[in-house]
Amino acid sequence: MNPDAILTADWHIRADTPTSRTDDFTAAMWRKVQFINDLANEHNIPILIAGDLSHRPQWPNWLLEKFMSIISDIEIIAIAGQHDLPGHNLEAIPQSGFGVLSRAGYIRKDAITSPFDQILYCYPFGIEIKNNSGIAMTHQMVTKGKSEWPGQVASSAKSLLKKFPDYKLILSGDNHQPFVVEYEGRLLVNPGSMMRSTADQIDHRPRVYLWEAKSNSVEAVYLPIEQGVIDRSHIDTKKEKDARIEAYTTRLSERYEVGLSYEENLKAYFEENRTRQPIQDRIWEACEI
């Protein structure tokens, strides 16, 4: 394949470490950024990022400096996701790290004629896709098929390809699950997240896609990862805590009548539990206020 661009999304560059990670998360993050940078240099192609470059709108200075030092020799075309925007407000983008990177020339964020002679239309978070001819980059929840959970607000990949028939490629971000859907020779590519940041991503294989414009085809390139760096103990601890709370509330509902007044439930509590009289008196005084 003779690729024309790297397709990716949801880098979530951050200064802190997710609860689920047991390794040096920051070092692992920079290794992946460097890997993608080297891949772009190897093929002399730009990187297209479909939103959520950052995890939070504000970047510490050291984080900005480190990021710029790695990607200073490559071209990045990116759109803003909700995590990039203060208050999820697109008009506030100048106040964000994304805005600083754009103003400094490290990333390009506007609709442009891309380096591979295809018109690239950019639809950041909150901006709906319009039908044009070329390539669309959007940050919205897109699923491979049906909704992934009850009540999820999302568009299916095939429905977008049907709705916008003049785009040969739609690159989407926001959904951290990677997939590629083809319809009548056109593609929707959702690269998924660059990092494994939550316990439910233990089986996730982070990747980017090399895209060839002439054949309109993609090839997955998997990013380097280490095994055994995802911890689920905090999930199990929370489940145990939730179970204890549920058991406690069940016992409470069995022992005290919900229909009784607050005062009558207090009386029932005092009768069943040894409570010193001065304490009871203070409680009753408070009830009368």
Distance CA 139, CA 148 (A): 17
Q: Is the separation of the CB atoms in 11 and 195 below 8 Å?
A: yes
Residue 250 pLDDT class (50, 70, 90 cuts): low
Report the phi/psi class of residue 239: left, alpha or beta, with left for phi > 0 and alpha for psi in -120 to 50: alpha
Residue 258 pLDDT class (50, 70, 90 cuts): very low
pLDDT at residue number 45: 94
pLDDT at residue number 259: 47
pLDDT at residue number 289: 47
Q: Average per-residue pLDDT in the chain?
A: 86
Distance CA 122, CA 243 (A): 46
Distance CA 242, CA 88 (A): 31
What number is the average pLDDT over the span 243-258?
54
Residue 240 pLDDT class (50, 70, 90 cuts): low
pLDDT at residue number 99: 96
Residue 80 CB neighbours (<10 A): 29
pLDDT at residue number 285: 67
Least confident of 88-92, 177-181, 218-222, 284-288: 284-288
Distance CA 189, CA 181 (A): 7
Burial of 255 per CB tally in 10 Å (0-12, 13-18, 19+): exposed
Distance CA 161, CA 204 (A): 25
Percent of the chain surpassing pLDDT 90: 62
Strand partners, 14: none
Single-letter amino acid, residue 25: F
Distance CA 24, CA 281 (A): 55
* Highest-confidence segment of 205-209, 231-235, 244-248: 205-209
pLDDT at residue number 122: 94
Spell out the alpha helix ranges (H) of the chain: 25-43, 61-71, 97-103, 157-163, 233-255, 262-272, 277-288
Which residues touch 121 (CB under 8 Å, ≥6 apart)? 111, 129, 130, 132, 134, 135, 136, 137, 167
Strand partners, 134: 167
Q: Is the separation of the CB atoms in 142 and 161 below 8 Å?
A: no
DSSP code per residue over 24-62? -HHHHHHHHHHHHHHHHHHHT--EEE-S--BSSS---HH
pLDDT at residue number 242: 54
| Model confidence pLDDT, tens digit, residues 44-75 | 999 999 999 999 999 999 999 999 999 988 89
Distance CA 59, CA 53 (A): 11
Choosing among 3.30.360.10, 2.40.50.180, 3.40.50.300, 3.60.21.10, the CATH entry for 5-222 is 3.60.21.10
pLDDT at residue number 20: 86
Distance CA 286, CA 101 (A): 57
User: What pTM, to 2 d.p., does this model score?
Assistant: 0.79
> What are the structural domain ranges in the chain?
5-222, 233-288
| Model confidence pLDDT, tens digit, residues 187-222 | 999 999 999 888 888 888 999 999 999 999 999 999
pLDDT at residue number 51: 96
pLDDT at residue number 249: 57
